[in-house]
Amino acid sequence: MKKVLLLLMTFVVATIMLAQSTTQKHEVQSGETLYSIARQYNVTVASLLQVNPGLDADHIMAGQSINVPAGAQRSVATPVNQQPVQPVQPTQPATQSIQQQVLQQVRQQVQAQQGVEVPSTPNRPRYKTLHEVKKKETLYSISRLYGITVDQLVDANPDLKKTKLKKGVVLNIPYTTAEDTQFKEEQQRAIEEANKPKVIMYPSIKVAVILPFSKTEEKVSAESQKMINLYQGFLLAVDSLKQRGCNVEVFAYDEASSVTPVASVLQKPEMKDMQLIVGPIRQWNLKSVADFAHQNNIAHVVPLSNDLSLVNEHPTTFQVNSHNSLLFNQVYNRFYLIHKDHNIIFVNMNDRGDNMSYITDFKKDLDAKGVKYSNASVADFATVRDALKKGMNNTIIPSSGSTTAFETLCKKLDGLELTTEYTVQLFGFPEWQTLQGKNDKYLGKYQCQFFTSFYSNGSSSRIQQFNGRFRRWFNQDQYNSFPKYGELGYDIGAYFIKGLNDFGSSFYENLHNYSYISMEFPMVFEKKNSWSGYQNRSVMIVTHRTDGTVFVR
């Protein structure tokens, strides 16, 4: 019997020693139960009873020391045997510091995904702080202290749904709604900032120019001469930029015959290294080049075509020449700003050059804006005479931009022998640029005004200097055409190469920050959506004054 008792005592002592070596101590606080203690340490009541032999689960008292399995992690939302925790007010700097740490971590995590090795930072704690309940405090008073609602406080402390609030209990204090909103907004901004692609600055701008130079022609055609002029103007822009410290490499390719695709050019190994492609001109070659530029994130400039389908499908393509739908809408808006208070008269010219769709949409736009106008016909000029008003600005809009229609209208106006009581102005078409030199008398007399997306003012000192430089470089003048292709090439080169040099790979994002004073083609590009390319939405209003000067706005 003695041997049996000795063995039992040895077993009990061994069990207690084993428990002590695999446990940690917890001092019971007022109001605690074995269940709430188990919740605190994320263990079961059975595991607590196992390491506390003989413990009465229904009768534990404040101050009693019990064993807790070693390694069990205590929740911050439980009573603790420590000095009272001082409440942290929502606006204290510590809260902001934690937020900044988490924002920094977001940036670092994104950078790490991009292959950048960075040190880690702590997460924002789940709760802002702890609060030890004091005598006479209520859920409402504690909630008011921290700027939160009672529901928020209870949600952060689920035990409050089952037990009454008692002195000494330590509560989780959640962040306020405003703090959570601010944190989420800052976190989102940090994610967006960290996700921004790294801006690459180009040590040298590589440009491919693909144009139909037609080197095999026995006699240079007018088209080839224009394309050569475009390239020559482009080279003048490159030279100007090099003088200002910009490094540029130009690769020129002949869009040889009318049936030769550009596939062989695109297969050249250097093409994928380009930052800019200018051209081609042939309609059937444009899509393959636009596809290639899009796939390799290369800025692609289309000098002449205004095909909407091309720019709609290629986000790196720029159309210098505006599509009529965009151009005309710009014209209608500009006209309204200048002439909305004028006496507006539309004159049907009955001419081969009549653009009735333009005129019809023009009238619809004025109708929508509540602007009144009159209709007249050159065939019955009395209708024009009757529509004119004394003491008002009379603006006449002919339906055709042809030279014949212009001269016919002006001569019939001369025949009315209008007194100075009548102020008459003509508003016409881009083709009226060709009237300069031949019809200057009429252009000035009727203060002729026209819209255009390109205009070369031969009387400006800048154009004159450019023409002199062009002549010195190439021993020839620009081909006499509208537009002037040398000036077009210069504007394309100066605008895009300078932009790529200044902004690098962020050129697209900085178009709204970028301005260039053009020679002939102002460039203000518009992107309809994320998958489309860019259309030039610039339009100029050119006015011939009675003193012979020209005003462009």
Q: Are residues 440 and 465 in the same domain?
A: no
Distance, C-alpha 291 to centroid of its chain: 22
Measure the CA–CA gap between 222 and 3, rounded to whole angstroms.
123
Q: Is residue 282 part of a domain?
A: yes
- Residues 134, 137, 139, 142, CA torsion sign: negative
3 pLDDT higher than 60? no
In this structure, the number of other CB atoms found within 10 A of the CB of residue 275 comes to 23
Q: Are residues 185 and 291 in the same domain?
A: no
Q: Are residues 329 and 448 in the same domain?
A: yes
Measure the CA–CA gap between 308 and 310, rounded to whole angstroms.
5
CATH of residue 427: 3.40.50.2300
Q: Is residue 84 part of a domain?
A: no
Domain, as residue range, for 37: 2-69
Q: Are residues 241 and 167 in the same domain?
A: no
Q: Which two tokens stand for residue 105?
A: 């971590």
Measure the CA–CA gap between 122 and 264, rounded to whole angstroms.
55
CATH of residue 190: 3.10.350.10
pLDDT for 180-223, tens place per residue?
Answer: 888 888 888 888 777 777 889 999 999 999 999 877 767 888 98
* Torsion-angle region of 378 (φ positive above 0: left; ψ -120 to 50: alpha; else: beta): alpha
Is the pTM here over 0.85, yes or no? no
Q: Are residues 401 and 502 in the same domain?
A: no
Q: Is residue 111 part of a domain?
A: yes
Measure the CA–CA gap between 445 and 511, rounded to whole angstroms.
40
Q: Is residue 484 part of a domain?
A: no
What is the signed CA dihedral for 507, 510, 512, 513, rounded to 10 degrees?
A: -110
Last residue of a domain, one of 168, 195, 222: 195
Q: Is residue 548 part of a domain?
A: no
Last residue of a domain, one of 54, 69, 84: 69
For residues 210 and 251, is the Cβ–Cβ distance under 8 A?
no
Average pLDDT, the chain: 85
Residue 189 has a pLDDT of 83
Number of domains in the chain: 4
Cα→Cα distances 71→44, 68, 125, 198, 300, Å = 14, 9, 21, 45, 64
Q: Is residue 483 part of a domain?
A: no
Residue 214 has a pLDDT of 77
Q: Please, what's the b/e burial string for 116-136 (b: 16 or more CB within 10 A of its CB; e: otherwise)?
A: eeeeeeeebeebbbbbbbeee
Last residue of a domain, one of 452, 485, 502: 452
Residue 57 has a pLDDT of 65
Least confident of 196-210, 266-280, 488-502: 196-210
Q: Are residues 416 and 430 in the same domain?
A: yes
β-pairing verdict for 65-69 and 23-27: antiparallel
Q: Are residues 317 and 330 in the same domain?
A: no
Q: Are residues 109 and 158 in the same domain?
A: yes
β-pairing verdict for 170-173 and 129-132: antiparallel
Q: Is residue 545 part of a domain?
A: no
Q: Are residues 97 and 178 in the same domain?
A: yes
Q: Is residue 308 part of a domain?
A: yes
Q: Are residues 296 and 344 in the same domain?
A: no
Q: Which residue has the tokens 């413990």?
A: 55
Q: Are residues 185 and 133 in the same domain?
A: yes
- CA nearest to 424, candidates 443, 446, 440, 444: 446
Q: Are residues 329 and 444 in the same domain?
A: yes
pLDDT for 22-31, tens place per residue?
Answer: 688 888 876 6
Q: How many residues does the chain have?
A: 553
* Torsion-angle region of 379 (φ positive above 0: left; ψ -120 to 50: alpha; else: beta): alpha
- CA nearest to 169, candidates 76, 45, 60, 74: 76
β-pairing verdict for 373-377 and 317-319: unpaired
Q: Which residue has the higher pLDDT, 11 or 209?
A: 209
pLDDT for 161-191, tens place per residue?
Answer: 888 899 989 999 999 998 888 888 888 888 8
- Rounded to the nearest 5 percent, the helix, strand and coil shares of the chain are 45, 15, 40
Residue 180 has a pLDDT of 87
